Amino acid sequence: MLNHEAIRVVPGNFRRDEVKGMESTLLLSASYEPIKIISWKKAVVLSYLEKVEVVEHYERIVHSPSVSLPLPAVVRLHRYLKNLPRKVKFSRQNLYHRDNFTCQYCHQPQPAHQLTYDHVIPRSRGGETSWTNVVTACVHCNLKKGNKLLHQINYRLAKEPKEPKWLPPADFHAFLNHCTEYGIAERISPYLGHRLKLNLA
Ligand SMILES: [Zn+2]
């Protein structure tokens, strides 16, 4: 049985070389919605405090003087949270994710460094900086559009810009890449996709 003192001490006692590159754990709500990425140490502590159950783990075992355990990859809260964060922050990265890294004018997917964002109704004509008036655009289309309106250059948006209900934070993607490196991405990706699917429904 571990007492609270042990809980504080144990995670810090793992040898650093054993956990290099393995800092990340996906935290799920009680209803299996992905909430955020936390450090593996925090996940271990939450697990000892019986706040979470470990749903998936890495193959690798880490050792402290008192315990050995597989590093948690996905943990799930026991308690239901009433106030999950619902609003998606308006940011360049989130905008790119909403638009699937696809230029909304020429409808071509692009790597992030080729993308910009553009006001559909230009600011000079009173267009707002908001989810419904800003879209992802490639550099080429952005230059071409300039201060014009869509119909003036025969552009049609790939989809109507809306405020997203939910988007995976950018670090979900990094986490999934990380899981790919450790050969557990197939087991992990359903947990990341769950909330997306709910949103599409
Ligand atoms: Zn384009």
What average pLDDT does the segment 176-197 reach? 75
pLDDT per residue as tens digits for the range 72-107: 999 999 988 776 666 778 889 889 988 989 999 999
DSSP code for 32: S
Ligand 1 geometric centre to CA of 19 (Å) = 42
Q: What is the pLDDT of residue 131?
A: 95
The C-alpha angle with vertex 133 and arms to 127 and 134, in degrees rounded to 5, equals 110
Q: What is the pLDDT of residue 22?
A: 57
Q: 45-49, 52-56, 99-103, 174-178: which range is least confident on average? A: 174-178
Ligand 1 geometric centre to CA of 50 (Å) = 50
Is the C-alpha dihedral spanning 14, 18, 23, 29 positive or negative?
A: negative
Q: What is the pLDDT of residue 4?
A: 39
Strand duo 134-138 + 115-119: pairing: antiparallel
pLDDT per residue as tens digits for the range 120-144: 999 999 999 999 999 999 999 999 9
Domains annotated on the chain, with CATH: 1-81 (no CATH), 92-152 (1.10.30.50)
Ligand 1 geometric centre to CA of 108 (Å) = 6
pLDDT per residue as tens digits for the range 2-25: 333 333 334 445 554 444 555 689
Global confidence as pTM = 0.56
Residue 108 neighbours by CB under 8 Å, 6+ apart: 102, 138
Q: Which residue did the predictor score with more confidence, 179 or 43?
A: 43
Ligand 1 geometric centre to CA of 128 (Å) = 21
Q: What is the pLDDT of residue 199?
A: 37
